Amino acid sequence: MITFPNAKINLGLYVTGKRDDGFHNIESIFYPVPFRDAFEVIESDHFSFECEGMQVTNNPEDNLCVKAYRLLQTIFDLPPVNMFLLKNIPAGAGLGGGSSDAAFALKALNDLFKLNLSVGILTNYASILGSDCPFFITNYPSYVFGRGELMEAVDIDLTGIYLVIVCPGIHIPTVDAYQNIKSFSTLRIPMPHQVLRDKYSGNQGHNAS
C-alpha cells in the first residue's frame, strides 16, 4: 500500500503560553499543501524500515512511521511489515512532514489490516504520536488550538493563489523553537474562519490537499 503524506503551512501562529505539561498553547490555522513524501507499507515475515531522500534519524525506531506501527502493533497484535519512506519534506521547517508521515502511516495500517478504526479513534492515536499529527488524519484546513491537537474545520480555499515555500537549509527542532520563546502573545485569532473566508471569498473550489 502506497500513500503520499503532504505538508502543511500555518496561516498565522500565536503562542499564548506554556502549559503545566511542558507543552505550549497555540492558536493557528493549518492548511494542507501538495508537497509530499511517499510512504509504502506491506505485510511481511519480518519487520524492516527503509528511508531514502532527506534523512531525519539514524535510528529507525525514532521515526514516527515506525512509532505509528509500534503503537498499533501493541494494541492489535499486528504482523511484521516492511516500510519504505521517501523523504522530500524537510525536517525542522514547520511543515509538519514527520507528523504527516505518522498520520498517513496510521491510516495506511488501518486500511491494510482492515482495522476499521473511525476517524475519531485514529485522531486519538495520532495525538499520542505528536501535537500536529491529528490534523493530518482529516487533512482539511483547520483552526487549531491547545497544543495543536484540538481542531475546528474552517471553510478556507486558497485555490488559485500561488504559494512559494522556501527552505533555507536551516533545521530548527520544534523543542528548541518553543524553548527559546521569551514572551507570549496576548492576542487571539478573532473568528479565524470568518476573517480568512472574507479575505479569500473570491476563490471557490477544492483545497490544495
Choose, from 8, 67, 87, 107, the residue flagged as catalytic. Answer: 8
pLDDT in tens, 113-147: 999 999 999 999 999 999 899 999 999 999 888 87
Instruction: Give the tens place of pLDDT for each residue, 80-96.
Output: 999 999 999 988 788 99
Q: What are phi and psi of 68, to 5 degrees?
A: -65, -45
**In angstroms, rounded to a whole number, what is the distance separating the alpha carbons of residues 111 and 36?**
20
> How is 143-188 classified by DSSP, letter by letter?
EEETTTTEEEE-----TT--------S----HHHHHHT--S-----
- pTM of the prediction? 0.82
182 included as an active-site residue: no
Helical (H) or strand (E) element with 64: helix 64-76
Residue 18 is a catalytic residue: no
* 52, β-bridge pairs: 86
Q: Give the pLDDT score at 181.
A: 73
Kindly tell me the burial class for residue 51, based on how many C-beta atoms sit within 10 Å of its own C-beta (0-12, 13-18, 19 or more).
Answer: buried
Per the residue annotation, which of 37, 67, 87, 132 is the catalytic one? 132
